[in-house]
Chain A
Amino acid sequence: MSLTKAPPQTSSPRRDAKPEQSDRMVAENRLGRRLVAPALLLMLLVTAFPMLRALYLSLFQYSLTAPDDREFIGLSNYLTALSDPLFWKTTLNTVFIMIVTVGVELVIGFAFAMVMHRVIFARGLIRTSILIPYGIITVVSGFAWQFAFSNNNGFVNSWLPFVDETFNWFDGYSSSIAAIMISEIWKTTPFMSLLLLAGLAQVSEDMIEAAKVDGATWLQRLTKVILPNMRAAIMVAVLFRALDAYRIFDNIFVMTAGAYNTESISFLTYRQVIEQFQLGIGSALSVLLFLSVLVVAFVIVKLFRVDLAAARQES
């Protein structure tokens, strides 16, 4: 290909034929915008518009069971939500789930990535298997784990030596939340490990070899060479998974339906809007949920100093 002339593309010199080039740029600009417009419009239609609508509805006392009594009440819904201990309880619970699951996933996912990186003979088998939890419907994995932990027809109790056969996991906060988190971790660790594997592939083998020659131990190679060099990949994986974990809903819905304070902030919002038809306070919760996701994203980006643009231009 190197023999053919470079196409008169964006990279070609623009000096000599200015008017023609700028025409071309105008046309390119227009074409580009036309091509992205349908996708952009659709995305905004389903996110920006409902979000603005939620912002509007959140200022009303509005219940679908009595739609005619809709009444403007300003920020009262927000005050109600923010002064309700339930809101804080669910938020704390969500943050707790997020921190624990992402932390555990990071460790196990990294171990998985190391295995996948090294493995030669069973590569296809492993990669196929790792996609199964990723692809499976969360509701199905929720059921699988719920039944697994059940003392009526599960197997977990008989496999765990320190647990009584009749122990009911879904009869209290800590064991229920543990079951929920295990289900969540099972399902999403593979995704984490695939992201980390891609990061691992970008660490140069030469550097690891050099460290080996210099007498670095395995632990030193890991902490001084491998991990620092895949920092960007780790941060992207953590950011993605944390925001995903913060939205946790399916597993809780299936496994406990929010019993024993296992509700997440998503679940609380859903309950207000869809089950109780309280669109006013529900919309306020929707807005708060959205804002808290922004806060989480902001904190992670600041905490890890993620530079998404830089992380994404590595290739």
Chain B
Amino acid sequence: MLKNKIGLTVGIAFVLAWCLLPIAWIVSLSFKSQESITVGNPGFLPADGTGAGWTNYHDVLADEQFRRAIINSIGICLIATALSVILATLAAYAIARLEFKGKKFVLTTALVIAMFPVVSLVGPLFDLWRTIGIYDTWIGLIIPYMSFTLPLAIWTLSAFFREIPWEMEQAAQVDGATSWQAFRKVIVPLAAPGVFTAAILTFFFAWNDFVFGISLTSTENARPIPAALSFFVGADPFNRPASLLAAGAVVATIPIIAIVLIFQRKIVAGLTSGAVKG
């Protein structure tokens, strides 16, 4: 019994260290001063006198390109998420609730697309987007983001919708509710958590994208944060400003951490139901 407990504690400690160590590291890096990094300042924590306080964060937030990238990312991801979840909800409702030909086809297509090598689409899209004039625009990223988050949203939602006891809607009608009332008062509250979970996962997905971000944008017009970070060079192009980049990375990570902290339970449920139960 005791042996088990020790093993479990070690396991927990290991899992926590695994998950949090790189985060702690990048936070620590973001508080080191530029000068000390250029000279060479190995070690996990800032050595004596090499701390920079909030300077790196000030510099990053004062950077116009970086601010634009944050705004782009938030805007593009939110719009893509909203649209994607709306379309996925319609599709998932149909899949869970209705019998129709082509249901299997939709699910298979979604599965295949989820496994698609993104890079192989970039060339043709790059060419096409330039032709029709949506290269380097928000809409030019929203469309690919939507198509790539739809499979995930459809699978998660249809798994979720399948669990909803739809008879309750009829029961409410028998009890005298109109069908709209029955739908709104019974089904919507039951479906809302699933839709919300799908939205969070979709947002993660879109926020994480890199390939489309670097290929389908060329200026700060639409460049999202992961792409902006990778092109961030700072004053001296031969010396990557590690601590400044780290501060930028922390800023870009905060929204994700916040979402994780608030919606942990829902995310786990959504991830596993979409992927395993389907």
Q: Which residues of chain A have a CB within 8 Å of any CB of chain B?
A: 1, 4-7, 9-10, 25, 28-33, 35-36, 38-40, 42-47, 49-51, 53-54, 57, 64, 111-112, 114-116, 118-119, 122, 124-141, 143-145, 147-148, 150-155, 157-159, 165, 186, 189-191, 194-195, 197-199, 233, 236-237, 240, 243-244, 246-247, 249-250, 253-254, 266-267, 269-270, 273-274, 279, 282-283, 285-287, 289-290, 293, 297, 308, 311-315
Contacts and interface: CB of A to CB of B under 8 A. Distances in A.
Contacts of A114: 11
Contacts of B260: 128, 131-132, 135
A38 B87 contact: yes
Contacts of A145: 22
Nearest to A159: B44
A143 B249 contact: yes
Contact of A135 (B88, B123, B256, B273): B256
B119 A286 contact: yes
B29 interface: yes
Contacts of B170: 4-5, 7
A7 to B, nearest CB: 4
B117 A246 contact: yes
B95 to A, nearest CB: 7
Contact of B267 (A46, A112, A115, A131): A131
A147 B250 CA distance: 14
Contacts of B174: 4-5
A53 B171 contact: no
B43 interface: yes
Contacts of A115: 8, 11-12, 14-15
B133 interface: no
B62 interface: no
B211 A270 contact: yes
Q: Which of B103, B118, B119, B146 has the most CB of A within 10 A?
A: B119
Nearest to B259: A135
A23 B31 CA distance: 68
8 contacts: A29-B99, A33-B100, A42-B87, A195-B272, A198-B277, A274-B123, A290-B120, A315-B277
B123 A312 contact: no
Interface in B236-278: 242, 245-246, 249, 252-253, 256-257, 259-261, 264-265, 267-268, 271-273, 275-278
Contact of A132 (B19, B95, B147, B225): B19
Q: Which of A165, A189, A273, A279 has the most CB of B within 10 A?
A: A273
B229 A198 contact: no
B64 interface: no
CB-based closest 8 A-B pairs = A32-B100, A46-B147, A312-B278, A286-B120, A50-B124, A35-B94, A198-B272, A115-B11
B11 A131 contact: no
A43 B41 CA distance: 48
Contacts of A243: 115
B119 A266 contact: yes
A31 B94 contact: yes
B43 A47 contact: no
Q: Is the interface of A mostly helix, strand, loop or mixed?
A: helix
Contact of A199 (B115, B116, B242, B276): B276
Nearest to B256: A135
Nearest to B200: A135
Given A50-B125, A129-B19, A274-B122, 19 more contacts: A28-B99, A32-B100, A32-B103, A33-B100, A35-B91, A38-B90, A39-B90, A46-B144, A53-B127, A53-B128, A57-B124, A129-B15, A136-B253, A140-B249, A236-B275, A240-B115, A247-B117, A274-B215, A313-B278
A54 B120 contact: yes
Interface string B13-35: 01110111011011001001000
A53 B196 CA distance: 36
Nearest to B211: A249
Nearest to A147: B242
A138 B208 contact: yes
B106 A36 contact: yes
Interface in B85-144: 87-88, 90-91, 93-95, 98-103, 106, 109-111, 113, 115-128, 143-144
Contact of A129 (B16, B117, B143): B16
